[in-house]
Chains A and B, each alone.
Chain A
């Protein structure tokens, strides 16, 4: 199982770009990288998923280098409402039953 390591917490000012890096040194060939966002007392919400290179959607970008041993979630121009916990997941084929959420990165956006 791929183990992930990400910073426990980060602070950012409103309007700045935030990059959260996740290490997954033993990622398997078939694994995807998925990021979730969780607000207090709510269930996590899917943000973005990728396999290699760069993926962008209306919320975030995901950068994955060629060796795939890490990935970076980029949130452009954060606002106070982006204050949340962000989880990096690396998935084995077959679904979430073998995926660990971990403690995530707690992002605090400061006015």
Chain B
């Protein structure tokens, strides 16, 4: 089983619908991240969390919200999806620490908003 699991892997929805992407991890890491990737572009950080009580906005948080239900679970919500939120979404985890610890990514959730 994957250490970082994302569900759903693929989702097609309509404009205005609420969507939740879920991420769970078995690595025991405190830090979790949500990234978005558009075709031909790098990853952009949406939100990150350093522990259950710590939630922070990333570079492109507008239109998104998150919930850290437990150390192992970090969910990304689109309250009212719009077509330009069509993208590949990745969840990632890392250990605590001041250095750049290795990021462990999930397999991605491909979201299409019609």
Q: Which residues of A contact B (CB under 8 A)?
A: 32, 34, 36, 41-46, 49, 87, 89, 91, 93-97, 99-104
Contact = CB atoms under 8 A, between A and B. Distances in A.
Interface of B: 4, 31, 33, 35, 40-45, 48, 50, 56, 58-59, 88, 90, 92, 94, 97-108, 110
Contact of A101 (B42, B94, B100): B42
| Main secondary structure on A side of the interface with B | loop
B105 A45 contact: yes
Contacts of B94: 95-96
Contacts of A36: 103
A43 B108 contact: yes
Contacts of B110: 41
Contacts of B58: 97
Given A91-B99, A97-B45, 17 more contacts: A32-B100, A34-B100, A41-B88, A41-B108, A42-B108, A43-B90, A43-B106, A43-B108, A44-B43, A44-B103, A46-B104, A95-B94, A95-B97, A100-B42, A100-B59, A101-B42, A101-B43
A97 B57 CA distance: 9
Contacts of A34: 100
B42 A91 contact: no
A104 B110 CA distance: 20
B101 A95 contact: yes
A99 B56 CA distance: 14
A101 B103 CA distance: 12
A103 B40 contact: yes
B107 A93 contact: no
Contact of A103 (B41, B45, B100, B105): B41
A100 B108 CA distance: 18
A18 to B, nearest CB: 20
Contacts of A94: 98
Nearest to A30: B98
Contacts of B102: 46, 49
A96 B103 contact: yes
Contacts of A97: 33, 45, 48, 56, 58
